[in-house]
Amino acid sequence: MLDRAEGAGVTVGPARGEVAVLSAVQRRLATPPVVGVARAMSLFGEHAAGWIALGALGAALDPPRRRRWGTALAGVVAAHGASIAVKRVVRRRRPRDPRVAVHVGTPSRLSFPSSHASSTTAAALLYAGLVGGVGAGAAGVVVPGMALSRVVLGVHYPTDVLAGSVLGVACAVGARRAVRRGSIGRWRTA
């Protein structure tokens, strides 16, 4: 649903039924322990800081692949930056409905796409390619976990997290292409 133009972008409202889905997820899952875990995930993912720290740690501890870690880290930063840019164009407001409880503060009132979902998806895909094994399996848990946490906390609509994850995939693919094209070396997929 398009609203009037606002500032530099166009304000977009939630898709039909998204508030009902958000409310239903919260009714089923927003118990104190789940909200506590979701808040911790939110803090870790804020401004992609946790993912940036992990990428820097990987670069520091894995000198032979430092450039690949740097490229992966750049992909995470790109995903976060791209999500912020899209937010400023789309200008969709965070959920504001009496059926939705907000369990955490946010740095802005804009929600589309989820920056947490963008940076988490990019980090999971790119870092898993560097650590392999358990890291690759963890990506399949971390991405849906972060996406769900944003809905449980009441700060994103389901399409916000879906779009954020898609944007994260695009940035991860771009970073991997940069590795394949350049002199950085081949990406480890095992």
Q: What is the DSSP string of 9-52?
A: EEEE-PPTTHHHHHHHHHHHH--HHHHHHHHHHHHHHGGGHHHH
Range ranked top by mean pLDDT from 1-5, 52-56, 135-139, 179-183: 52-56
Under a CB-based contact definition with an 8 Å cutoff, are residues 97 and 155 in contact? no
- 190 within domain boundaries: no
134 vs 121: CA distance, rounded Å:
16
The CATH number that applies at residue 164 is 1.10.606.20
Question: Could you tell me if residue 187 is inside a domain?
Answer: no
Helix boundaries (H) for the chain: 18-29, 32-45, 49-61, 66-90, 115-131, 133-152, 158-181
Structural domain of 116: 2-181
Q: Do 92 and 108 form a contact (C-beta atoms < 8 A)?
A: no
pLDDT of residue 13: 66
Q: Is residue 132 situated within a structural domain?
A: yes
Is the predicted pLDDT of residue 39 greater than 80, yes or no? yes
pTM of the prediction? 0.84
Q: Which residue did the predictor score with more confidence, 185 or 175?
A: 175
pLDDT at 130: 86
Give the pLDDT mean for 151-177. 93
* pLDDT tens, residue by residue, 142-158: 999 999 999 999 999 99
Tally of domains in the chain: 1
**Per the structure block, which two tokens stand in for 70?**
């740097």
Write down how long the chain is. Answer: 190
Q: Report yes or no on 15 lying in a domain.
A: yes
Work out the pLDDT band at 140, boundaries 50, 70, 90.
confident
pLDDT of 78-108, one tens digit each? Answer: 999 999 999 999 999 999 888 899 999 888 8
Chain position carrying tokens 């394949």: 180
**How does residue 14 score in pLDDT terms, banded at 50, 70 and 90?**
low
Q: What is the pLDDT of residues 1-13, one digit of tens each?
A: 333 333 456 666 6
- Residue 50: half-sphere exposure toward Cβ, Cα within 13 Å: 16
Instruction: Indicate whether 16 belongs to any domain.
Output: yes
Would you say residue 189 lies in a domain? no
